[in-house]
Amino acid sequence: MQFTAAQIAQIINGKVEGDETVAVGSFGKIEEANAGQLSFLANPKYEDYIYTTGASIIIVNQDYQLKNAVGATLIRVADAYTAFATLLDAYQQIQQQQLTGIEQPSFVSASATLGEQVYIGAFAYVGEKAVIGKGSKIYPGAYIGNQVKIGDNTTIHPGVKIYHDCVIGHGVTIHAGTVIGGDGFGFAPLADGTLKKVPQIGNVVIEDAVEIGSNTTIDRATIGSTIIRKGAKIDNLVQIAHNVEVGNNTVIAAQTGVSGSTKIGKNVMIGGQAGIVGHIVIADGSKINAQSGVSKSMKLPNTAVTGSPAYDYTAALRSQAAARNLPQLEKRIKTLEDWLKNQENK
């Protein structure tokens, strides 16, 4: 599929500098792109490649100043990185629009409701009274349980499992191997030392424009709903326990674990391998550094923590700096002790 510079500029609201008719059919990194490919320059570290790249079209910031002539056609935009992401998204949507219909073998319950232009891949399962909105894509090997509701233009990648009664919004992307709505980890200890399973009768609600990475697990609530709010982005290999709530536009990096009934606010940033205990509150705009262990509520918005147990980020950096000076401090103390001893002897 070929696109001219003029067509691309229209999509990303850019201005063409050079040949508007030059066409590209694929993307390439600026340091290795060939003729017929499109690339972008956003990081100054790669600036030298703009003069040597084989790319036919390059997206650059509108205020970027050339030092030498370039062979490629430029498209100037307000933000090159954002424009490139927008273009990739448009390209992906065009590709996905070509997928429609129900492949065989697959199973779609007679009581399920499918919208227009839906795609169901081979070996997928769609349960009783499930609802799949228009333009949504269910890739091969996915499992959609009974009475699951999926909104419009949502993409469920291969091998995703969505258990019964869960609700997925519009424009959601769930990557391969993720499990939505498995039982929460609830067991009651009995007098004889055994553990009795507590039934998990709630569900998971994922609102619009959420993206969830591969092999992530989001457990259903014991009662009520585990909720992922609009615009949240969750990485691969993340564990979200029962009755957790993740706020709007919050981002959670890989291998993070969030224990049950914790409420995470909006616009929170959580680094990889962080661990968060249950039944606490994380305020809006909080930042949790990678590998931090959060054991109590963060009630003040827009604060940052690090360490395990996690504490104030700035104080932690001060402590680390002090710790690095301990060997030198020890020598100074030893010198002072020797001096005092000599004074006493005198």
- One of 157, 164, 242, 279 is an active-site residue; which one? 242
**With contact defined as beta carbons under 8 Å apart, do 210 and 167 qualify?**
no
**With contact defined as beta carbons under 8 Å apart, do 129 and 146 qualify?**
yes
CA distance 200 to 214: 24
**With contact defined as beta carbons under 8 Å apart, do 193 and 179 qualify?**
no
Quick one: which of 160, 267, 152, 165 has its CA closest to 226?
165
First to last CA, the chain: 92
Known catalytic membership, residue 242: yes
Task: Tell me how many helices (H) and strands (E) the chain has.
Answer: 4, 40
Quick one: which of 23, 15, 90, 27 has its CA closest to 60?
15
Tell me which amino acid residue 174 is. Answer: I
CA distance 58 to 29: 10
Give the residue carrying structure tokens 């508007």: 20
SS3 state at 48: helix
SS3 state at 230: coil
Active site residues: 242
